[in-house]
Structure 1
Amino acid sequence: MHDSYSELVLPFGSSSENLEQYTNASGGIRTGELIEDLDSLAGSIVYKHMLSPSVRALGHWICFRLNPARDLRIGGQVIYTGTNSMEIAVKMESIGNSITEETVMIVIHHNRVHQRPLVCRNATIHRASKVNPLIISTPEERALYSLVGEHMKKRRQSNVLRSLSREPLSSSEAADLHSFYLQRGQEEDGIDVENKERVWMGGKCMLMFPQERNVHQKVFGGYLMRLAYGLGFTNASMFTRGHVRFLSLDGISFARPIPIGGILRLRYCILHTVSTPEHHVIVHVDVKANVVDVKTGSEQTTNDFRFTWCQDPEEVSTSPPRQVVPKTYEEAMVWLEGKRALELGSEIRGLRTK
């Protein structure tokens, strides 16, 4: 088991440059970045187990808080193998001059339901391939193999069998769900009235990190433009059901700056669509960026972006183009705004080609 052990040191305490890339808005370490590193390390461990392992020792597992003033060592190894899948244990340790080491976290990478797969596949035939079995050589390794690996495997199998996609709700679960729906889940007269105790599921918010700051210690406007463009492009592609080609940036407004550590909510709306002799379908998209007050939940619009895409000529089908349709009077006003913007954009593009 210990043959697959691998480790990597992230020099936070000894490299200010590296620390800058991992610092969060509170001056600590960005956990999401570390999770990405841990996932990458787990993948490397899998290859090491299958190809050419070397011997390292296994440390102790305790939980401490991350210290950005000290370097961080991440390491892990294969602790369980099935027929064509593996379990990887990954740990993180703070290391410094006064204290040799202290482990801060352990992450188990599963290979089945709800977790990133670590399953061996044949690169030629693209089918499952058998993995190298583990040789257990110490009581500690036996404990890991049995208590962690086999336990997690049995729990996953149990979860699959109990999944709601396979079995109906139990009578108590059905009663709880119905009672909760009657109390909280209904809209009044078709309109969602304000209810501070109720929060609908879903929605997308993003935390702004210091890596995206400008010289004024606010979020860089170019970064916001990149986020808005990506969101608009994705939804324009989904609307046309194919790849789209960028036509124009029709408008940008910066109402107020976004502070580092602020919560950003992005919303998109396809304002208007039209077909022309030149383009099968043109899509005009509005993306709004709002900063959210965590304590009150109130929002203020910080940026408004307008983009126009057209369907890629190589992906035009023979079916009629889809059209966005307003459902309410308010949406109709927005629809007309989009129509005006498309007409203006078409006029400007016409002038450019002359």
Structure 2
Amino acid sequence: MFRSLFGATKYGFSRPDYLTDIRKLGSPAQPWRAAVFIRQYSPPTHIKESAVPNESGTMAEVKQTMMKRLGLEPGYQPLPKSREHLLKYQPKLADLPPRAMQDSFTSAIIPLSTDRVLQDKYVTYLGNVRMGRLLEDMDMFAAWCCHKHLAVPQLPADVHLPYTFVTILVDRIDFTSTVAKGTEDIRLSGHVSWVGTSSMEVVVWLEQKQDGSYKKLTRALFLMAARNATNSAAAPVNPIQPANEEEIKILAGGMDRKRQRQIICAQSIFKVEPNDPEQTLMYELYKRTTPTDTMELNKRILPPNSRWMSDSYQMSTVPSFPENRNHHNRVFGGFLMRTALEISWAAAFLYCKTRPKLEHIADISFEKPVSVDSFIKMTAYVVYTKLNYMQIMTVAEVIDTSSGGDRNQTTNTFYYTFSAPDTVTEVLPRSYHETMWYIQGRRKFQYSMGLN
């Protein structure tokens, strides 16, 4: 299925997932490492070299510009400033002119080479960059690309933008072997690559300046929703009119990705029963963990060099504060992504007992908004292992304080793939519920590694 979806192009960009069929093979010292697919990270030449002004300054300036366009001011107010007066300026779809992809292409800098205060916020104790911080920036930058795409000719010049933008999901993210340093500038670039009636897909690249040139770090797809000024209903966005043949291919790829997301969602292990090979795997797991010399009910045995899934998790309860809010007084999606990544990294570290490397982030969906006064429970489970890889499933829940946590509400589920220098202990499920997590984690791992 995976290989049939992707085909090479001149720019390495028209594949539905912007992949190039380059395999990263194991070294002679580690011939057992699975082959993985590496993404093509660079923006297409025709967009990057367009005449459209595309430099947006620093990420701090991007944030300020977005707040100004939306009519927001710094400083927390428990009751946000009303934006109901902007509803009358909401345009109709017919009033919005088509836009080319190059119209929304832009870039911004995280100035780590010159801002020492910023360095403290981004650096790890080894001097590398905290990847969770970069996820926060990529989420905000995706919203900025939506601003760049939107053009409302009939909006008076002195009226603020009658829109809000929220993240629906983040598509699969792969990372190159380049290690991001905490003292060098990082550049974000991206553009809107597909639109529906009120949704926009945004591709975001991340690069860092090393040895005088920018090195590729990662590339991600964000699916954003356009909402009206009060975030109470969907709002239309400008359609895309491709500027050339390459943009036509990119747009077609966006349609393919939409269909693929619908298929994956419909086939979720939490919605339909496992397929035949998976049911065979479940029986094999049962046989491996059930003693043959007794008929005692529910007795399970742990094979050598393995651990139960129920003993392989880490949990953290995080209070949210106004500092973590977005432009609409809800918890910023980037904050949730950063927090989930960091607890997942800790779970992987403690499982394999050495520093793991983040290889992939599977699709992240945002099911429900989170209030800024919430307690957020993050639980990171090791749900699948293969050779030197660990698949982590992290569940984010908002704690219902009135019930003492008995009626928590799940808001997000995250899937991360980490690698260790050596083969890791195998994780195994002990209950049927855990077996479903195991199957789901295996699916995410195979999808991320290009094995299905």
- What TM-score does the superposition give when structure 2 sets the normalisation length? 0.39
Rg larger for: 1
Which of structures 1 and 2 has the larger relative contact order (alpha carbons within 8 angstroms, sep 6+)? Answer: 2
TM-score, normalization by structure 1:
0.49
